[in-house]
Amino acid sequence: MSEADIRALRLKKLDILKAAGMEAYPAAVSRTISVADFIARFDELAKSGKSETAAGRLMSLRGQGGIVFADIFDGSGKTQLVLQKGDVDEKLFQLWSEAIDIGDFVEATGVPYTTKRGEKSLKVSEWRMLAKSLLPIPAEHFGIKDEETRLRERELDILTNPELREMVMRRAKFWQAAREFYLTRSFLEVETPVLETTPGGADARPFITHHNALDIDVYLRISTGELWQKRLLIAGFPKVFEIGRIFRNEGQSREHLQDYTQLESYEAYSDVKAGMKFVQELYRHIVKETYGKYTFEIGQHTVDFAEEWPEIGFAEALSKQFEVDVLEGDEDKIIRAATQAGGGDIPNKERAVDHLWKQVRKTIAGPAFLTGVPVYLEPLAKRAEGGTTVQRIQVLIAGSEVGKGYSELNDPQDQRARFEEQQKLRDAGDEEAQRLDEDYIRAMEYGMPPAFGFGVSERLFAFLENKPAHEAQLFPLLRPRQ
């Protein structure tokens, strides 16, 4: 039977309900107990003989004639309903057989009852419809097989796939664990603007929209308020963090999305050295609280967060594999090496070095800290001793970068010079280079304390789940149906 035919049949059943005087979509619910509580307190309730009212979605229907069995699910658990002639009003029993379908939300009143097979159930004395379903839900046993349908009709996939349902709950626990980590360390949770006149805090292409009231173009933020949070350090708040949505108008891959959640934090009077210990503790707390373990199989790598995290020097790693000096070497040679490594048409040294590094990192299981990144790749971090590299760390996990932090640049003149270098790259056609933000530099000129900043996105969660990034989201973005 086609979906259209099923819908037409269910519309007829809707008419049957109306003719019987039963509302198909009532506002009030008379539930007295959740399914989880009914199961947990079953023996106590059975002993008392007290009638209870449960509610939920019908997930299965069995039986015929004088007895019917049905499973309901309310989000807290699943239990069986038993409807038997003689226990239910005859007209109500007949209405059930004529109007009920799998997928309907119902309310059932009755007493605890153990079947001959020993299954703890609710023996129904009366019932009513809470929401009539017009389209069929997939069978729990088979679920949804088509990948696009799974992602497009995510609510059905979550409903019928227990593993996916568990992932949704782990995702919430993941961010809860991160939030608890910061709050117990006296960080202040803040909210910074999503619409910006100058996008900053990352090398990324922003989404552009128009603000009608102000009649100006604005950008969706590409970082979780990095420059705004540092202005809060200037304002006198020593520890701040934000967990929020960011948007990057770039390519999509197993690891990259355009719309995702990110955590960023800033701690005054700290630096990258202290930050390494902080980040280790953060990741260990998150994985232990969310998964109850430290070791994960991610792609082809085994990752143990309980191990000590080694430092990997950026320049040394590239020199060893490609025989190039990314700190003071010849730009043409670096670009040639990147081209030979499959980089295609590369416009400048910055993009060439980035491409070469991506070839190296694939081999690193981690967790480890990447250090010694050149100044020209990081316009917002404080210079290291010698001046050619920055005090930056990147967390390396399973061949990728999953978190970044640095000693924040607080010299306004150095910051202006680096923004100006980024602007030159933009003028030459690099749309991901950062913009000169005059307001931020002016704020910095009032004085900004030394600080350690760190950011990690939901990519970490996807890695821990060993899933592509879009599958680790609740509702990934898809093209509209044609």
Instruction: List pLDDT tens digits, range 109-123.
Output: 999 999 989 999 999
Same-domain check for residues 299 and 173? yes
Calculate what percentage of the chain has a pLDDT beyond 90.
Answer: 70
Tokens of 142: 């088979």
176 and 127 within one domain:
no
Please check whether residues 177 and 132 belong to one and the same domain. Answer: no
Q: In which band, very low, low, confident or very high, does the pLDDT at 148 lie, cut at 50, 70 and 90?
A: confident
What is the mean pLDDT of the segment spanning 122-149?
86
Does 141 score more than 70 pLDDT?
A: no
Amino acid at position 214, single letter: L
Average pLDDT, the chain: 92
Q: Report the alpha-carbon angle 415-420-425, nearest 5.
A: 130
Structure confidence at residue 413 (pLDDT) = 93
CB 77 within 8 A of CB 55: no
Give the confidence band of 385 by pLDDT, cuts at 50, 70, 90. confident
Rounded Cα distance, 153 and 95, in Å: 31
Domain with residue 186: its CATH number is 3.30.930.10
Alpha helices in 184-240 (DSSP H): 226-234
Same domain assignment for residues 86 and 218 = no
- The token duo for 359 is 């070839």
| pLDDT (average), residues 72-95 | 95
341 in a structural domain: no
Return the structure tokens found at 227. Answer: 């420059």
By mean pLDDT, which of 321-325, 390-394, 404-408 is the weakest?
321-325
Give the ranges where 127-217 is alpha helix by DSSP (H).
147-152, 154-160, 162-183
DSSP three-state, residue 86: coil
The pTM is what?
A: 0.89
Q: Looking at the structure, tell me whether residues 385 and 254 fall in a common domain.
A: yes
Contact 64, 145 (CB under 8 A): no
177 lies in the same domain as 246: yes
Q: What is the number of residues in the chain?
A: 482
Q: Kindly state whether residues 184 and 50 are assigned to the same domain.
A: no
Quick check: 100 and 106 in contact, CB under 8 A?
Answer: yes
Separation between Cα atoms, residue 96 and residue 80, nearest integer Å = 15
Enclosing domain of residue 112 = 3-137
Please check whether residues 88 and 34 belong to one and the same domain.
yes
Q: What is the DSSP code (8-state) at residue 434?
A: P
Residue 472 has pLDDT above 80, yes or no: yes
Q: Are residues 295 and 406 in the same domain?
A: yes
What is the identity of the amino acid at 337?
A: A
pLDDT band at 346 (very low <50, low <70, confident <90, very high): confident
Report, as an integer, the average pLDDT of 222-227.
91
d(CA 361, CA 402): 11
CB atoms within 10 A of CB 66: 10
Residue keyed to tokens 């043409």: 332
With respect to residue 276, please indicate whether it lies within any of the assigned structural domains.
yes
pLDDT digits (tens, 9 = 90+) for 265-301: 999 999 999 999 999 999 999 999 999 999 999 999 9
pLDDT at site 336: 86
User: What mean pLDDT comes out for the span 133-145?
Assistant: 80
CATH code assigned at 18: 2.40.50.140
- What is the number of domains present in the chain? 2
Q: Is residue 46 part of a domain?
A: yes
How many C-beta atoms surround the C-beta of residue 395 within 10 A?
A: 24
Please give the pLDDT value at position 140.
67
- 161 and 129 co-located in one domain: no
Residue with tokens 């128009």: 210
The owner of tokens 């509580």 is: 37
